[in-house]
Structure 1
Amino acid sequence: MIAVILAGGKGTRLGLDDLPKPMVSVAGKPLLEHQLLLLKRYGINQVIMLTGYLSEKIEGYFGNGSQWDMQVSYCREDIPLGTSGALKQLEPSLKERFLVLYGDVVMDFDIKRFQDFDRQAPSLGSLIVHPNDHPYDSDLVEREGDLITRFISKPHPEGLLYENLVNAAVYILSPKIFKYIKSDISSDFGKDIFPLVLDHGERLRAYNTPEYIKDLGTPDRLHKVEKDYSSGKVANWNRGNKRPAIFLDRDGVINREVDNLRRVEDFEILPGVSDAIRRINQSEYLAVVVTNQPGIAKGFLSIEKLKEVHKLLETSLGQEKAFLNQIYFCPHHPEKGFEGEVAELKISCDCRKPEIGMILKAKAEYNIDLSKSFFIGDTTTDIRTAKNAGLTSVLVETGYAGKDKRYDVTPDFVAPGLGHAVNWILSNNKNSK
């Protein structure tokens, strides 16, 4: 597979007067060199760099790539044509699916896993997406399953509720993409080409990953990236490495307990929750919700309405610079006899807590180390789930506060609320039991 790196940025906000943005030094190397080394690690040795501003600086440093045992060539952009407009020049050279990276993005991700995902189903392209801590000023993606249905460019419509999924600017594309890109006309993938592709009935797939992929467009972000490199966070977040998680029940832990929540307007996030989840995001832990939602099987709440509730949750957290890596829910309920119940969901299953199906799914999808992970819940069902999965359990005294008494279990720790629970985990455990 050939990799194309869009390397024409100026870096004005970084104060780079004599360097193109992709040549900014990060942990002692130009950012572009980090990208080349990542590609080489996964067996991608042929790279085309689309250069523009001060292109001679890039070409002079990397040459033909032989110093890295790679083949590097260049296509110089004399007039800026946007992210996709610039790529049009390479149409004669790209006859098979190719990888696109943006040269101003710091990244360390498992390229093989991304390639495997791309091969699973036919599409015009696969895009890496992820939640971030500033979705309110990011270009967002909507999806059904792994199929992208809509791109929402910033600024967003007023009052929009959204799933916090951001276009991470890493793509695998079919050469068929070129028929949607006009020559010598400035265009952008996210704002112009990808929406056009969807309008023509083409399939674009979303690959959601928690790996380290961050734009360093400002001095503050550059400083943070440097810190993350030195701490090992950039490399450690690669999906090839196991990561610990903090699993969270939803009702009574994140939001006020409402018996059989039926309306979006009854959903209320508890005080201090956004701050607690933000601190999880800043740690090595993934923040993963696993919640039983039997109201769906009982006919009290549709899956579409549940999605609206979760969009409200993610939008509210995003406004406070916090995010969830994933929300898993079980829609089943084994007991029959509810008016309007959904018959096919009235079953016993392996995902309804205290069964651990949702946790095992998260483990497989995110390569989670359960031995170093935690579960925070408000019921004895949650504590039983934690013990079934081999997780350290924390009971919070919000919601049911363990008074459901369904199981005779003792939590490993009791905290007044989510904030105290997260404090205990981060202060005393250092990612290990």
Structure 2
Amino acid sequence: MTAVIMAGGKGTRISSVASDIPKPMIQICGKPVLEHQIDCLRQQGLTDIILVVGYLGRVIEDYFKDGKQFGVTIRYYRETEPLGTAGALYYLKDSLTDDFLLLNGDIIFDVDFQRLIRYHKEKDGIATIFTHPNNHPYDSAIIVTDSESRIVKWLHKEEPRTNYKNRVNSGIHLFSPKIFDCFSKPGKMDLDREILKPLIATRQLFAYDSPEYVRDMGTPERYVSVCSDFKRGLIQAKNLHNKQKAFFLDRDGTLNVEDGFVTSPEQIRLIDGVGQAVKRINESGYLAIVITNQPVIARGECSHQDLRRIHNKLETLLGREGAYLDDIYYCPHHPDKGFPGERVEYKINCDCRKPKPGLILKAGRDYNIDLTASYMVGNGIADIQAGQSAGCQVAKIGLPEQSLPNVMAFSGLQECVKAILG
């Protein structure tokens, strides 16, 4: 598979870090961003690379040459005039007759590309974009998907949005050659607005959601953060090929103020300090995953769509504090019958309702999590029992109703996270 890297960026916002080299040549711990990208590709057998160069492109060509010394084969497309984020692809279509990767040249990443490729082939769409949560969704374009991970909305940051799931485009894409049907003529083109967003109507645009490390270093502040993460080994550790660690978090009474059965977004209010606690989890490299029982579905008091809006409110509030959730797992079942409007199909004795560990075990499989190195944190006995059954370490929020062996107890999530992470 060929990987095309758009390496023609000038880097206006990060000029205070380096103004005399192309943006992809800015160094992270002694090595250009572009070289970090090529290393990640090579390690996974992706050695056929096309670099699209423009501003000071000769610097890139002189450094990488034909790629042989880096264990890859590199070809170049030279933009004689700026062609935007997609225009150069028109001139490469004869070379890209199979599925191919398209990567932004100003991002640092370490991801399991084979998982992405398998997913793309299973969906059999025209395009798959790698999405993830980030710590600044309020100034990012938001990607909205349906239950099949098909993209149904693409909300640019200038477009109105209220509550939303924190998922943004990372700058990693996987395309079928059918993508070239979207190019009517040569010239400057915007990938997101002119190529991808119109694809929504075809129902052939999918999102591959992953918590792996993908960050742009387009501002001095983000550059410093990326350098710090690299030194801590966080970038490589987040590759899903490696075992992950997680904080599994109960929802009501742990993240948001307990307000009976939550059936509307208006009931969601973060507990004081929760935003900072989740942000600390994000920065540590642990995954932040919600595990919650939601019997309101079985009781007929809330639909799956309603619950999605509730969780969108939760993610929006966390995003405003620079924090995010990597995933939310919920159990819609409730074994007891006799509620007006109840949904009979959910009135079962399932394996996912806490205190059973089904949801934790599923998350462990989905994200290659070492459960013994992970924590289940909640305010109820069912949370503790589920965590223990899954093999996790456990922590109780709030005063315990009884003495619980091998259970850490804290007044709130912020104290809990601070104690565990140090």
Instruction: Please say whether Structure 1 and Structure 2 have the same fold, judged by a TM-score greater than 0.5.
Output: yes
**Match runs of 1:20-419 below 5 Å:** 20-145=22-147, 146-157=149-160, 160-199=162-201, 201-397=202-398, 401-403=399-401, 409-410=404-405, 412-419=407-414
Which amino acid letter does the alignment assign opposite residue 10 of structure 2? K
Tell me the SS of whatever aligns to 1:83: coil
Q: Provide the C-alpha distance between the structure 2 equivalents of 1:19 and 1:344, rounded to a whole number of angstroms.
A: 61
Tell me the SS of whatever aligns to 1:3: strand
Query: Residues 287 and 326 of structure 1 are in contact (CA less than 8 Å); yes or no, is this contact kept in structure 2?
Result: yes
RMSD: 1.4
Instruction: Verify: 1:4 aligned to 2:7, yes or no.
Output: no
Tell me the SS of whatever aligns to 2:55: coil
Query: Residues 139 and 190 of structure 1 are in contact (CA less than 8 Å); yes or no, is this contact kept in structure 2?
Result: no
Q: Provide the C-alpha distance between the structure 1 equivalents of 2:56 and 2:281, rounded to a whole number of angstroms.
A: 40
Query: Residues 50 and 87 of structure 1 are in contact (CA less than 8 Å); yes or no, is this contact kept in structure 2?
Result: no
Cα shift at 1:402: 4.6
Provide Cα deviations, 1:316-354, integer angstroms capped at 9, x if missing partner: 110110000101100001111111001111111111111
Gapped runs of 5+ residues in structure 2?
none
Q: Provide the C-alpha distance between the structure 2 equivalents of 1:302 and 1:351, rounded to a whole number of angstroms.
A: 18
Query: Residues 383 and 409 of structure 1 are in contact (CA less than 8 Å); yes or no, is this contact kept in structure 2?
Result: no
Return structure 1 stretches of 4+ with deviation > 3 angstroms. Answer: 408-411
- In the comparison of the two structures, how many residue pairs are matched? 419
Gapped runs of 5+ residues in structure 1?
428-433
Tell me the SS of whatever aligns to 1:296: coil
Tell me the SS of whatever aligns to 1:298: coil
Query: Residues 400 and 409 of structure 2 are in contact (CA less than 8 Å); yes or no, is this contact kept in structure 1?
Result: no
- TM-score, normalized by length of structure 1? 0.94
Q: Provide the C-alpha distance between the structure 1 equivalents of 2:196 and 2:33, rounded to a whole number of angstroms.
A: 27
**CA distance 1:381–1:402, change in 2 (3 Å):** farther
Query: Residues 148 and 205 of structure 1 are in contact (CA less than 8 Å); yes or no, is this contact kept in structure 2?
Result: yes
Cα shift at 1:274: 0.6
Matching residue of 1:425: 420
Tell me the SS of whatever aligns to 2:75: strand
Identity percentage of aligned residues: 42
Tell me the SS of whatever aligns to 2:409: strand
Q: Provide the C-alpha distance between the structure 2 equivalents of 1:102 and 1:262, rounded to a whole number of angstroms.
A: 41
Q: Provide the C-alpha distance between the structure 2 equivalents of 1:70 and 1:419, rounded to a whole number of angstroms.
A: 46
Matching residue of 1:431: none
Provide Cα deviations, 1:223-250, integer angstroms capped at 9, x if missing partner: 1111111111111111111111011000
Q: Provide the C-alpha distance between the structure 2 equivalents of 1:409 and 1:119, rounded to a whole number of angstroms.
A: 48
- TM-score, normalized by length of structure 2? 0.96
Tell me the SS of whatever aligns to 2:312: helix
Tell me the SS of whatever aligns to 2:85: helix
Which amino acid letter does the alignment assign opposite residue 156 of structure 2? S
Matching residue of 1:430: none
Cα shift at 1:424: 1.4
Cα shift at 1:258: 2.0
Cα shift at 1:411: 5.3
Which amino acid letter does the alignment assign opposite residue 373 of structure 2? K
Q: Provide the C-alpha distance between the structure 2 equivalents of 1:2 and 1:136, rounded to a whole number of angstroms.
A: 33
Provide Cα deviations, 1:67-116, integer angstroms capped at 9, x if missing partner: 12321000111121211122111111100000111110001111111111
Provide Cα deviations, 1:91-144, integer angstroms capped at 9, x if missing partner: 111000001111100011111111111122210111110000000001110011
Query: Residues 275 and 419 of structure 1 are in contact (CA less than 8 Å); yes or no, is this contact kept in structure 2?
Result: yes
Query: Residues 129 and 208 of structure 2 are in contact (CA less than 8 Å); yes or no, is this contact kept in structure 1?
Result: yes
Cα shift at 1:2: 0.5
Tell me the SS of whatever aligns to 1:265: helix
Provide Cα deviations, 1:47-78, integer angstroms capped at 9, x if missing partner: 11111111111111111111123210001111
Query: Residues 54 and 82 of structure 2 are in contact (CA less than 8 Å); yes or no, is this contact kept in structure 1?
Result: yes
Which amino acid letter does the alignment assign opposite residue 369 of structure 2? I
Provide Cα deviations, 1:182-232, integer angstroms capped at 9, x if missing partner: 333322222221111112x14122111111110000112111111111111
